[in-house]
Amino acid sequence: PSLSPSTAHHTDPAGFGGGSSSSSLYIALLREWRFFLCGLTSGVAQAAAFTPVDRALYLSVRDRRPFLHRQNWVDPYQGFLQTIVHRAVSGGLYFPLESLFKPVVEELLRSQDDDRPLGACAYFLAGNAAGVTNALLLHPLATVKYACWGQPAEGGRFWPVVRHIYSEGGVRPFLRGALATVMRDLTFGGLFAAIRHPMTRFALRTEREIKERIIR
C-alpha cells in the first residue's frame, strides 16, 4: 500500500520524499557518522593522554633503559601529530567498518532457509575483518610514528622521516612488522565486537527495566 503524505514525511527525516527506503538510508548514514565521530573523539583523547607514556615505553625498549629514565620523557609529545592522526583514524574507522562487514559475514554464513541472526559469531568475524582492514591501512603510519619517536626533536618531522624510510628500501620498510600488527588487530577486533554487543544489549535492557520500575 502507498504511504500517505503525512506518513511519508515522518518516515523520511532527510526530506527527500523517498519513503521508508530513503529514511532507512538516512538513519544508517547518521548512525555510522555518529560512530565515526565517537571513535575519532576517543582516538584524540587517547593520543593526548597516552602519547608520552607510549613514547617512553618505546624508547625504554629500544635503548634498553628503565621506563622512568629521564631521557625517555624529554620532549614527550614529539611525533604527537602522527600519533593523533593514527589513533583518531583508527578509532573512527573501526565502528563503520564493523557495521559494513557484519551483513557480508551474515550473508556468507547463513543458510538459505535460515533467517535467524547469527549473533556473536557474526560480530566476532566482522570485528576480525574490521581489525585487519584497520591494520593494513594504518600500519605504514604507525611505522612513521615510531621512527619519529626515535629521532632527535629537530629531526622527527613527518615528511623528512618518510623520505628517509623510503630511501632505505622503498615500500618494504613501511610494511615491516605488518603481520604482527594484523594478528593483533584481528584478535582485538573480533573479541571487542563479540563482547561489546552483548554488553550493550544487556545495558539497554537493564536501563529499560529500571525506567519501568520507576514509572510504576
Sign of the alpha-carbon dihedral angle for 189, 194, 197, 202: negative
Q: What is the pLDDT of residue 37?
A: 83
Q: Is 43 among the domain residues?
A: yes
* pLDDT grade for 25, boundaries at 50, 70 and 90: low
Q: Is 23 among the domain residues?
A: no
Q: Is 79 among the domain residues?
A: yes
Write the DSSP string, 8-44: HHHH-TT----HHHHHHHHHHHHHHHHHHHHHHHHHH
C-alpha cell at 150: 626515535
Q: Is 177 among the domain residues?
A: yes
Please tell me the distance from the alpha carbon of residue 38 to that of residue 97, in angstroms, as a whole number: 14
Confidence (pTM): 0.69
* pLDDT grade for 17, boundaries at 50, 70 and 90: very low
In the structure, how many helices (H) and strands (E) does the chain have? 6, 0
pLDDT digits (tens, 9 = 90+) for 116-136: 656 788 899 999 999 999 999
Q: Is 56 among the domain residues?
A: yes
Half-sphere exposure of 5 (CA within 13 A, CB side): 0
CATH number at residue 58: 1.50.40.10
Q: Is 59 among the domain residues?
A: yes
Between helices 19-63 and 80-109, what is the axis angle to 10°? Answer: 130
Q: Bigger pLDDT: 32 or 162?
A: 162
Number of domains in the chain: 1
- The answer to whether residues 193 and 126 touch, using CB atoms and an 8 Å cutoff, is yes
Q: Bigger pLDDT: 120 or 184?
A: 184
Range of the domain at 106: 36-215
Half-sphere exposure of 158 (CA within 13 A, CB side): 11
C-alpha cell at 6: 503525512
Q: Is 17 among the domain residues?
A: no
- The answer to whether residues 189 and 130 touch, using CB atoms and an 8 Å cutoff, is yes
Q: Is 27 among the domain residues?
A: no
